[in-house]
Structure 1
Amino acid sequence: MLGAGSLRQQWPPAGKLHGATARGAGRGEPVVDRELSIERPDGSRIDVLLNITPLRDHAGGIAGAVNIVQDITARKRVEDELRASEQRFRTLANTVPVLIWQNDEDARNVFVNQYYLDFTGKTFEDVMGVRWHELVHPDDAPAYIADYMDAVRTRRPWRNLDRLLRRDGQWRWFDNYAQPLFAPDGSYAGHVGASLDITDAVLAEQALKETDRRKDEFLAVLAHELRNPLAPISNAVHLLRHPDGRRRADRLVEMLGRQVRQMIKLVDDLLEISRITRDKIELHRQPLLLADIVHGAVETSRPLIDQQHHHLEVRLPEEPLTLNADSVRLTQVLANLLNNAAKYTDQGGTIDLEARRDGTEVEIAVRDNGIGIPAGNLPAVFDMFTQAHRAAGRGQGGLGIGLAMVRSLVQMHGGTVEAKSAGAGSGSEFVVRLPLAEPPDEAHDGTAAGAGAAPLAGQRILVVDDNQDAADTLAMLLDADGAQARAVYDGPSALAALPALRPHTVLLDLGMPDMDGLEVARRIRADPAWSGVRIVALTGWGQESDRERTRGAGFDFHLTKPVDLTVLHAWLGTRH
């Protein structure tokens, strides 16, 4: 819109040009440009650019003005949208945990987001106009930089993996993506990229590959270990079929028994480690003297130690040390360590087992002067299917799960185990630390109360078994230990006996006719009156599936026949 009007009274008009942009034109006439928002006759508003140019007479005075008003509503809307888009981009770029960057045609930074600055520990000024090559791991840099610069030259998309240096000095794996950026005129303006930290995924993949490698190695070892006893067994079968086979039978049967026992041990070890890894092992804890556990382990390992002509020295503290532990499992731990020492020490070597009190713990060390453990193998020596000595040609048989069982069983007892070695040829040492049992409370000390002869005094126990002889004799044994015990021989009789006896514990057979032990347990658990009663399964069924069934029916404990009275006493005693 073009218009002219008189401005003789004042230039510029009072109150009309506040905030206007003035510039000289031609002979220095003031020219005013101003962006305004005006209301149209229909009530709508538009953005305009007002341009005012003065008109002068011959004397140089202002005779009027030329006013140009340009509708810039569309342009303003585009500018506002561009500003909003820019703000959204910067907010997004500075929020996501990804390195976002833009390089120019010479691979220099022209933009990085906040995460980039936080990761590198640098300021915006530090990284602008410079290259990023020093961030790349030296092993990755040559190929990485060459590939990126080729993408710059050929204006192509780019992707690569590399390690970048974080501000704390740690190298992190990144998956990098970049696209070429072109200006409106089609000229190349650099690359825009994003780099995603994938360190956790890379480490997980490496761990899976290592697990897969060790699994393949384990299967190979398992096949080897099973073939070892199968070879002499197969030979023995052929010899027994020989005409003079009977003459050699005694010797062959002895050899067959030895090889079968080896196979049984391999299978038992596999089942044992499977139960441990699935948390299916239950410890039967009871107060035990350390000396008894050590002597049991030595007795178990003595044949192998003697076979290798080793000298074994055992040193125990003079004071009796008591542990609250599972006798079988703890004996298994120490026997495994002694067997390892015997296997990986040359004939005629020395093995020491020494125990000492260390505050509230006992420290048990098994040392040998054998072939030792390379420093690089120490961290993994307790891992599943690991045999630290196989690379040295000293595999000595086994599946590489003995030390894994040792660690798991020690941890289940609340202890720790550590391997030490000065290296190849320098021997090994395994140190087990276990908590000692707390000293007994004098107020409940059986000796002081005269309970030494009646460890179950005060307990009421109901024995339920359709085998009357078994039920009666067990009740008699419990009576002899101070309990008030009663025997019944079927499920209905057990339920009927509850109100009169009000037992603390029910020892319940499972395989009874009409109403089995599982149903009896369910009915007891369904009655709130017997919520405090403890139920112990007493059965010939001892598989893990049987234990799961009894747990599901509400049993507190599972014992197999014939009952181990020591275990039963320990369980009853700790829950009195």
Structure 2
Amino acid sequence: MKQLALPLLIFCTSFLFSQSKIDSLQKALDEASQDSVKVKLLHQLYFQYENKEPKKARNMALEALRISSELPIVKLRSASYAIYGDYLYTQSSFDSSIVMYKTARNLAKEIDWIQGEMDALFGLGNVYYRKGNFEEAKKTHEQKLKMAEELGDRESVAGSYNSLGLICSEQGEMTQAMEYFIASSKIYKEVGHLRNYSITLMSIGMAHRQLGNYDKSKWYYLQSDSISTLLKNDLGRAYVYHNLAIINKNTGELDEATLYNDKALVLFTKLGDRKKVGELHYNQGSIFLEKKAFKKAVDAYQKSLGVSVVTNDSMMIAFSNCAIGQSYMLSNDFKNAIEYLKSAVEISERIGLFPIEMDAYEYLSETYGKTGDFEQAYQSRTKYSILKDSLFTREKRELANEIEARYQNEEKTKEIALLESQKKLQALQLTQRVNERNAIVAFTIILLLLAGLLYNQYRIKQKTYKELRELDELKSNFFANISHEFRTPLTLIKGPIEQLEQNPGAGLGMESIKMIRRNTNKVLQLVNQLLDLSKIDKGKLELEQTEGDVFKCLRGAASSFSSHAAQRGIDYKIQIPREFLWASFDRDKLEKIVYNLLGNAFKFSDDESIISFVSSYTDGELRILVSDTGRGIPEDKIPFIFDRFYQVYQGATREYEGSGIGLSLSKELVALMDGTITASSEVNKGTIFTIALPIQKIRPGNLKDKSTRTNNQLDQKKKPYEFQTKAVETSPKILLVEDNPDMSYFIKEHLQGIYRIKEAKNGKIGLAQATKYAPDLIITDVMMPEMDGVELCHRLKSNFDTSHIPLIMLTAKAGIENKIEGLEIGADDYLTKPFDPKELLARVKNLIGQRIKLRERFAQTASRIHPKEIATSSLDQAFLEDLLQLLEQEYSNSSFGAPEMQATLGLSKTQLHRKLKALTGESPGELLRNFRIKRAAQLLRQKADTVTQIAYAVGFNNLSYFAKCFKELYGVSPSNY
């Protein structure tokens, strides 16, 4: 059983805790007046607290990050991100740690700070290693190694060698790993870095342990332990005890192994290293396995697996699953064995952990053989053999010993080189064989190169195809979104104009005029944004600076949102200094930036939330901060929000309208002013945008702002428009489901005089109101928040209580496939924006009229009911067919009434009454009575019997009541009929 390699990547940052040093640093921090000095002191305090008090270390890292983010010193910001990444790494928050390291590296690259970039790459490589992503870890450490070599930083070179050696050992490349370890130890010994030298000695001991050279492995571990004892390094001693426990277990000294394992467990528990605690549980399980105590082994391995899952340690999860599977196999629990071994294969294959994958296949082969599944046993054995041949050859141990011999004795190295030279001389005598071999090798290399080139071309084509497909999808989404953005305001402009054209004398109301202006401005804003982006792409957009009061400009732009905030009950706070900031600036572009950011804040915030606009001016820099308590942006989406046409929240519901160009344009405009814009956000807590613009004040700010408007005046609530209800209570009821207030007003304005209107601002509310109020018709938009129109239509048509209600869908999507989609799920009609209000009125009238005619036809006195002639596929037709079939069966039963009808159909009294009134215009009792009367009339026409006998035959016991009901329906008595 191959064991877990020693993860030593964060080990070299361990320092002795010095309370006196912490006190002096804290005192210096309290007395520091400059923010840059505070950040440096916070960095030093973080390293002092790192291994002893994690909570204080976290506070230091966060405070440093907060202060440095407000400073123009990029180097301090990069270092702060890297340090916070270190803290997240120690807490096993790997994904968040990766984000911090990448940010630190990008900031370092901006200012060509090579050391900062190297530090970020080192941390990034360590995270990838701990996650089991060895290929990405190797690539990252190789980048750092190259930079360290160019810089001439020998210690960084040595650290990269050690990291690469660990990665190679995990992938089974032991020869390459040994070379890296020995190169690293030589450098550390030469520069006198004892702590890191002891680490590389442990790495060499680990490599020998994996190769089975246990005596040499013990020697290197004891050498490392002596240095750790000298340095009073508990962490180093803990690692040594851990590995000595593994070696003693492998050599059969199980009691000695348990002793060392317990010592290591005590130290790692004290140090709070959960991952190592999990590994030690794993080791104890291996010891129990050697003793054939399989149940105890499974318990220990399960503890290891539990810790590994909590710490997200992919590598240890694979090892634990394989070990549990082996234990179950040895205890003849083959079902559990196969389950855990398959999990080990899946995880190992995903992260490239080939040694454990090989072991899992070996155990699977043996398990399948014991269960009699020889085909699976053969397949598993074949995969095991392939992996074994590729990973473990005899050359590895011989080459490792050869490299170690060169390291320990330079004279022996010369002798080996001499022997190699003699071998080469002897080989020259076999010219023919060498030529043949070289020809084969050359031919093989050519084939490999050709295969590599073909594969590379294939990958390039696939990548190009993927990029083109993504670009095409991005363009399609953009045009769909921009189409929706244009169609809705154009509908709201076009409708009132057509109304005025048809009735010039009627004029337009103030609300209609304001609606036209709002939507005209919206279209103009969209066009201007597209034109600005076009100018930016062509490099023709330039600043048009004029002198003026910057703060006054900001107050005007920010206060334009006050009435909107008042209408929605939003706590809108504006904090702008009440003084002059006279400068030369581009007023139009600054206002566009403010409008875009505040527009986004209001768009993504719920009613009665909080939005803040804060501005300040310090040391030649104008800072603007826009914050909200809205929905927030997921952490993985933040790097893309300034990309052109990118939208965080997309989909059919279109919960938030937009074209995806506002933030991109804002960033371009800020960059044009030589400023910066950054964003930070937390899901469901809000978003903060920060802008920094260099502005040179050209007049002292000694004048007071003469503006006398108060926030209360700016925040006066707009009185909502109230409709005059003209429709009577008997008019048909229409449910209007529309999220755009202007569109809702526009439609309601044309319908309210004829019909009773009920409104809902999204599909979710509309579904509830349709069930509650049972309207005669529903009009719904397609793209809405919470629930879109397509989902609403599907739910209404599949719900028995609402399936009979006709539905008209409105949308800005004009494609035929969109219409087909709506009609296929049951929509009765489909209108594309912009539409003529007359057309909408005509379609509403027709649909309601059709339903009325259907009920009248059903209730005609001369109609004859033939249920078998009803061809049905819809929910309503199926219901009617069941109902009429029931009436056919029970009409002659005088005790059968409305209650029995409800019980048989499984409906409540309200459901049955509402459904029958909607479909037939009759209540359940009326429908049953008229059915019997019509059947009696049919029998009377056929002269089947006397009036008395026919009355009894159709379920009437009272002859006078039968005659009364018959005359009400047909106008004559039964005998005269």
Q: If the length of structure 1 is used for normalisation, what is the TM-score? A: 0.41
Higher helix share: 2
Query: Whose relative contact order is higher, 1 or 2, with alpha carbons under 8 Å and at least 6 apart?
Result: 1
Answer 1 or 2: which has greater strand percent.
Answer: 1
Q: TM-score, normalised by structure 2?
A: 0.26
